[in-house]
Amino acid sequence: ETGVTQTPRHLVMGMTNKKSLKCEQHLGHNAMYWYKQSAKKPLELMFVYSLEERVENNSVPSRFSPECPNSSHLFLHLHTLQPEDSALYLCASSQNSGTGGEKLFFGSGTQLSVL
């Protein structure tokens, strides 16, 4: 079992759909992250949660709504997305956040296509 598990691996949705991405970490970490990876662009940090509280939100559109019910689970709720939101969404966890030198452990990502 890998340390960080993301489901689903692939998702195709229409612009009017509502869907959720799920991330679960089995490493006992206190911080979890969502990153967006678009073609030919650097990974973009979307959200950071530390001990279930959101500590960073990088000006992400409100059509992306994160939820962190506990330190092991992280969700990204999607609604009324645009085609430019098609990307690989990566979840990561680390022991702590904001302390510097923290190694992130990543899941395999959800490849999202918005039609």
Partner 1 sequence: AQKITQTQPGMFVQEKEAVTLDCTYDTSDPSYGLFWYKQPSSGEMIFLIYQGSYDQQNATEGRYSLNFQKARKSANLVISASQLGDSAMYFCAMDQAGTALIFGKGTTLSVSS
Q: How far is the CB of 42 from partner 1 (least distance, A)?
A: 5
Cβ atoms of residues 93 and 105 within 8 Å: yes
Half-sphere exposure of 26 (CA within 13 A, CB side): 7
Dihedrals phi, psi of 85, to nearest 5 degrees: -85, -5
Q: Does the protein bind partner 1 through residue 103 (CB under 8 A)?
A: yes
One residue of 23, 29, 74, 97 binding partner 1 per CB under 8 A: 97
Q: How far is the CB of 80 from partner 1 (least distance, A)?
A: 26
> Cα separation of 18 and 5, whole Å?
21
> Cα separation of 9 and 88, whole Å?
9
Amino acid of residue 25:
Q
Q: Does the protein bind partner 1 through residue 1 (CB under 8 A)?
A: no
One residue of 1, 41, 53, 62 binding partner 1 per CB under 8 A: 41
Nearest CA among 53, 55, 48 for reference residue 93: 48
Q: How far is the CB of 100 from partner 1 (least distance, A)?
A: 4
One residue of 90, 93, 112, 114 binding partner 1 per CB under 8 A: 90
Residues contributing to the site for partner 1 (CB under 8 A): 2, 33, 40-43, 45, 48, 56, 88, 90, 92, 97-109, 111
